[in-house]
A and B are shown apart, each in its own frame.
Chain A
């Protein structure tokens, strides 16, 4: 699913974002990426989304290489990803269902499936009653759930959620985390970045990626949490 070998990322201004990242994530796994602000969490997601390309090293996402010379792969990879952005990136002035449908439109899904899938996804996130409300009139938490609905309605192989609980109260944050976790059961790989470690400390499944100053340390969660290993 995702394979990184000696991946470095350095921005044009010289900022070193990721240092020698080696990791492997399999299909259907749930991965939590934690670390302080500026540690490189979002930079790693940017690599996975093809927003940035590795300065050096090998990165394979969904079986396709994500290097500068493989730019044509990026759009194909993005079409298999369900992204949940930190700032939602919903289209203003459109309803919740329009936003969810848009995520599917770009994939060329047949029209008959658009409404059905969108309503199913909104039901999963508990927003059926707000389907025809403009996203501008939704609360922060509701917008977050629309963004998740847009991601899952695409039936992606990989869900990338960047700080999906930012600015949410604990109750809503736990609800969002549980919701994202539930997609793992559909054999979808879920990668979540968060700086709210209290939300994941009681979880007993998945992979934990600790990011610090661009280095990533991989750990298993739960019972075998003490089996830490640096890859």
Chain B
């Protein structure tokens, strides 16, 4: 360890020499790795954004419960109590028919004039319940068993579709992580092997002088890390630019899509990409070093 600390400057200098020995090849590798990691980061972003959007939507997941219009106040209270006792119900409240009318006016916007054709308020009061979406099936079953409940309306189809999109991103993301990981490891280990081959005489001399394998390997490990972490930084810059554009594009015309906070999103994605690049750099360099012995 003492030997490593004493020679940090030497390892950096040697790493620079090894990098310069195949300068253009290394520069191209750096950008290739950057682009590969960028594609990976895009998939992770899609996955993260869709997951967050879904979880935000899930938190807002509601069902509307309609009862017999002639139900008396006592029975309605009993219905609400029964609803609140069901596992998965977060909260519930009565939406009076006036509020239901107002809501529909807002939804229809300019087309709300159509409501004027009705002499009376056509809406019925109902019970609005926020639910845990994962328990929607059991909630539906139990509610339907409550006396005086006539009909339950939910937006299950939309939620299920969103869930399947997120699953798709997850599968795609896993596949991309594996593909990108393997290709980065192959590239890095090949570069390291090439570097070792180009320096085999010097390495042999170091071995004859009694240098440890760690002493010999460190400059090559540094080159591997420079290539992957450098690639990670390129990917992070590209990702930042693309996400900033995406957020500006979505936040304006599509304000109802609940995107996760941009700074938090970018910060976590950049950290993930840099950690992945660091990890791939170490693994790739190790494989390159061990396979060249």
Contact = CB atoms under 8 A, between A and B. Distances in A.
B95 interface: no
Interface in B201-218: 201-202, 204-212, 215
A93 B206 contact: no
Given A91-B202, A93-B17, A106-B215, A75 B210 contact: yes
Given A89-B205, A91-B205, A93-B17, A107 B2 contact: no
Given A89-B205, A93-B17, A78 B7 contact: no
A164 interface: no
A89 B208 contact: yes
Contacts of A89: 201, 204-205, 208
Given A89-B201, A91-B202, A106-B215, A111 B208 contact: no
A103 B208 CA distance: 10
Given A93-B17, A108-B2, A78 B208 contact: yes
Interface in A52-109: 75-81, 83, 85, 89-91, 93, 102-103, 105-109
Contact of A107 (B17, B207, B208, B210): B210
B70 interface: no
Contacts of A103: 209
Contact of A81 (B7, B205, B207, B210): B210
B230 to A, nearest CB: 24
Interface string A190-221: 00000000000000000000000000000000
Contacts of B17: 93
Contacts, number: 51
B209 A106 contact: yes
Contacts of A85: 205, 208
A105 B216 CA distance: 11
B210 A105 contact: no
A179 to B, nearest CB: 20
B6 interface: yes
Interface string B1-19: 0110011001000000100
A51 B211 CA distance: 14
Interface in A146-186: 154
A156 B241 CA distance: 58
A130 B215 CA distance: 27
A14 interface: no
A81 B206 CA distance: 13
B252 to A, nearest CB: 57
B209 A49 contact: no
Interface string B125-142: 000000000000000000
Contacts of B215: 105-106
A221 B10 CA distance: 45
Nearest to B17: A93
B210 A111 contact: no
B7 A79 contact: no
Nearest to B202: A91
Q: In this complex, which of B204, B205, B207 has the most chain A Cβ atoms within 10 angstroms of its Cβ? A: B205
A70 to B, nearest CB: 15
Contacts of B212: 75, 106
A103 B6 CA distance: 14
A143 to B, nearest CB: 13
Contacts of A90: 205
Nearest to B2: A108
B25 to A, nearest CB: 18
Contact of A51 (B2, B6, B201, B208): B208
A106 B6 contact: no
B12 to A, nearest CB: 13
B6 A111 contact: yes
B276 to A, nearest CB: 33
B208 A105 contact: no
B2 A106 contact: no
Contact of B208 (A49, A80, A91, A108): A49
Given A78-B208, A105-B10, 7 more contacts: A78-B207, A91-B205, A93-B17, A105-B3, A105-B7, A105-B215, A107-B210
Q: Which 6 A-B pairs have the closest CB atoms?
A: A108-B3, A79-B210, A78-B210, A106-B211, A89-B205, A106-B209
5 contacts: A75-B210, A79-B209, A85-B208, A89-B208, A102-B206
